[in-house]
């Protein structure tokens, strides 16, 4: 749907939202080889999607994994990786870790955190420090995992947002506000002699490493969570669920998109990525084992907008704003310019995230 800017209809999308774009004069760098790739946050959900692909790709000579806590790369079969201890808030540590990097992939980010000041230091200041260190090290490319949340959850957002739709801070959700701010700050950092900037905007990322990485269930709630899921699979438990439409993506598909950025398969810039199909919260509840009573999405969205206006909501509760308006992206640019195609359906992505 070239130039699609339709208002939201309270139904599940059954088609892809498309717009056609071409880039004249761009020459792919996929023939590059012998690359050293530095990755911050390699053991998170995104890292487990990307690093196995770097490990298997003959164009990648070495991977440098930067994290605050020690880990053993060979425990995951990552024989190409060298571990470097470093905090993204430490410019000197980053400069040292990036010293021989041709490409820097920045994945370290706190989604659900504690102290807001610390979260901002890691997310905003740490990301800027990583880009500046990559520039100082002479890296050719800087790949950053942004989010659909950078668009915000505004009522005038179209269904099928393309990359030329403006990123705007959300009204409340702290991580969405930081994602939008960071995209703008990073764009301002780019210079002719600095690394090319690649931004990926995925929706909710699912897969076998989704729980236990950036979306950890608190230890005190884990027994109750496991019990609830077990009961839902064995007993006829009902759930009243709004028919809210959303996009998701599997961690492996995020990894393949990151790899395309690493090897510069397309021009620098922002790319929307998502599974080829959309789902609803009703689909999610059914996959969890609940018998569902679907309710129209519109009342749920009104309630979410009202809830988002409650002052001093704790960080986890701020995610209610994500239900206030659909965040559905057009992924054509990633497919046509980056040469990326999602391989895992939205439903299979949900299933892969569930405990056995």
Q: What DSSP string runs through 179-242?
A: HHHHHHHHHHH--TTS-EEEEEE--EEESTTSTTTTSPPPGGGHHHHHHHHHHHHHS--EEEEE
Per-residue pLDDT, 259: 97
Q: Is residue 312 part of a domain?
A: no
Report the domain count for the chain: 1
The bridge status of strand 245-246 relative to strand 279-280 is antiparallel
Q: Is residue 191 part of a domain?
A: yes
Q: Is residue 256 part of a domain?
A: yes
| Residue in this structure with the two tokens 């599974």, named with its chain if needed | 275
Which residues are registered as beta bridge partners of 83?
65
Q: Which helix (H) or strand (E) holds 227?
A: helix 222-234
Is the pLDDT at 134 greater than 70? The verdict is: yes
Separation in Å, CA 218 to CA 16, 213, 290: 36, 12, 22
Q: Is residue 71 part of a domain?
A: yes
User: What does the pLDDT average to over 203-225?
Assistant: 61
Q: What percent of the chain has pLDDT over 90?
A: 56
Per-residue pLDDT, 210: 83
What is the band of 7 on the pLDDT scale with cuts at 50, 70, 90? very low
Q: Is residue 224 part of a domain?
A: no
Could you give the dihedral angle defined by the CA atoms of residues 35, 39, 44 and 48, in that order, rounded to the nearest 10 degrees? 0
What is the band of 356 on the pLDDT scale with cuts at 50, 70, 90? low
What is the band of 237 on the pLDDT scale with cuts at 50, 70, 90? confident
Q: Is residue 2 part of a domain?
A: no
Range of the domain at 168: 35-215+250-277+328-344
Which CATH number characterizes residue 170's domain? Answer: 3.40.50.720
Q: Is residue 208 part of a domain?
A: yes
Q: Is residue 87 part of a domain?
A: yes
User: What does the pLDDT average to over 125-139?
Assistant: 95
């Amino acid at each position: 749907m070239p130039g699609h800017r339709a208002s939201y209809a309270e139904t599940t999308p059954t088609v892809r939202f498309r717009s056609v774009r071409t880039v004249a004069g761009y020459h792919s760098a996929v023939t590059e080889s012998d690359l050293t790739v530095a990755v911050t946050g390699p053991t998170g959900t995104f890292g487990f999607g990307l690093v196995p692909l770097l490990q298997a790709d003959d164009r990648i000579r070495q991977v440098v994994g930067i994290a605050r806590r020690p880990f053993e790369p060979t425990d995951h079969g990552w024989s190409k990786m060298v571990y470097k201890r470093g905090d993204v808030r430490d410019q000197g540590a980053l400069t040292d870790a990036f010293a021989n990097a041709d490409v820097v992939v920045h994945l370290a980010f706190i989604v659900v955190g504690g102290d807001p000041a610390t979260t901002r230091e890691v997310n905003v200041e740490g990301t800027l420090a990583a880009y500046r260190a990559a520039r100082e090290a002479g890296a050719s490319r800087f790949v950053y995992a942004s989010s659909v949340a950078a668009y915000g959850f505004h009522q005038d957002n179209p269904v099928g947002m393309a990359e030329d739709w403006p990123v705007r801070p959300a009204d409340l959700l702290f991580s969405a506000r930081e994602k939008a701010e960071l995209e703008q700050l990073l764009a301002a950092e780019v210079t002719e002699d600095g690394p090319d900037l690649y931004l990926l905007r995925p929706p909710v990322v699912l897969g076998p490493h989704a729980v236990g990485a950036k979306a950890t269930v608190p230890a005190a709630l884990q027994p109750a969570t496991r019990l609830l899921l077990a009961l839902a699979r064995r007993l006829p438990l009902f759930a009243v669920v709004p028919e809210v439409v959303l996009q998701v993506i599997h961690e492996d598909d995020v990894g393949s998109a990151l790899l395309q950025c690493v090897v510069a398969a397309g021009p620098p810039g922002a790319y929307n990525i998502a599974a080829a199909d959309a789902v609803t919260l009703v689909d999610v509840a059914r996959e969890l084992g609940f018998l569902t009573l679907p309710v129209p999405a519109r009342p749920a969205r009104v309630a979410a907008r009202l809830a988002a206006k409650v002052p001093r909501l704790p960080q986890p509760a701020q995610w209610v704003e994500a239900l206030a308006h659909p965040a559905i992206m057009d992924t054509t640019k990633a497919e046509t310019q980056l040469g990326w195609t999602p391989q895992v359906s939205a439903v299979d992505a949900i299933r892969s995230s569930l405990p056995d």
